[in-house]
Chain A
Amino acid sequence: MFAEQLLLIAQDSVTDIAAVGFASDVGLESDDTRLLRDYAGARVSAMRDLAGAMGDADDEIELYRTLAAFWLELRFEWQRNNEVMNYQTVLRGAADPRVIAEGSVGSFLLSRIETLLDPSHLEMLGRYAQELLANERHSVALKEELT
């Protein structure tokens, strides 16, 4: 069942080990490492909540749809972290290690969820997300030109 597959990838220990590794990669202090592990744990917990709430066979399509929405949510969150870390890198010379580590956790979770979603659906969702933001950028630029 899809809910069982989701529970398999929503294991605290796997994500926690990854988070600790990312924290070490970027040299986080222990307090920030704890916050990063909490950050990762909260998102894994959200996946388990999905599986628990829509665990019946009749709800599999809804669970799939909601997991796809969660993938988009994480993708936008990763994108925000990516923008922050790279504007910091380019403009200040270095990025906040905490932001880099959160971006890495987000990317790790995206990869985990992607094992459960159809590649064609992922491509479509990614394209919509990208077009949505590109259109927004275009609209803002146009508005600035007009004012």
Chain B
Amino acid sequence: MIKKITGLFERDYTRKGFLKIFLIGFAAAFFATLKTKKLFASGTKKIYARRVRKISADYDLVSVEGDNIEKMTRKIIDELGGIEKFVKKGDIVVVKPNIGWNKTPEHAADTNPELVAAVVKICLDAGAKKVNVFDNTCNEEKMCYKNSGIEDAVKKAGGNIYFMDRFKYIPADFQSESSMQDYPVYADAVNCDCFINIPIAKTHGLVKLTLSIKNLMGVWGGNRSTMHWDINRKLVEILSFIKPDLNIIDGYRILTAAGSGGNAAHVKKMSTIIASTDAVLADSYAAKKLFDIDPSDIAYIKMASEAGLGNIDINSAKIKNIKI
């Protein structure tokens, strides 16, 4: 065989023969590029803010206290008016927990896996076509997914959990002046029918509290470290871009200091789950109830309400408290 191949180079070529081979090769390359052009065509250049369905829940906010997380989750969604209000048959649902850190559930640095699994199950029962679960992690993604227990729990519940692909981050177009213009956002998080945000309530060194608005940072890519400069304004813009349909704050275990977890002394069991369609209201209520901080002291919540993205006033909202 080798001789055959090397023989090709030993043959004497006439000018005509050389031209023939050259032309055939050129034509082959040309057709190959034509065929493969579609294969490698670059996708959409920019992505616009998520289109949101109008949802009118029975209550502005529901808060449940109890011990059985699955029961609490079912109860809370029933009280808001049932899952049918949020998830229609054949919908593609995104469930966005906080899987930021490589810590076990007891450390309360990541969302409780039982809560995530319960939400996934409820969505699938309501007829969702696909429930996607993902997060752009701070620590190494494989370890975070595994050690937080969320990967196993979601797979068991039937959800579709995956690592975020670098090629699916697309620059965001805010269509107005914004400090977040052209930051890459994850396409799956925007092109979905229903976005359910499940943060864990914990403290944060810079913005005081990590709640549902801060959790939305997990669908953004690019240099996330520089995002921390002038973070409050950016958080408000993130919220205006994603606008989650439902926020369920995991207050079962909360972190009262050091938001990346690891210290058992900082974990406090509150056995509470808070749900609202309004991210700002959910954050305000959680800040007041779980951490006893006045929501207007937290800059990004105040700015979000001033921008008209939600209600900061807990007293005027229609709130239901339940104990199981």
Q: Do A and B come from one complex?
A: no
List residues of chain A with CB under 8 Å of any chain B CB: none
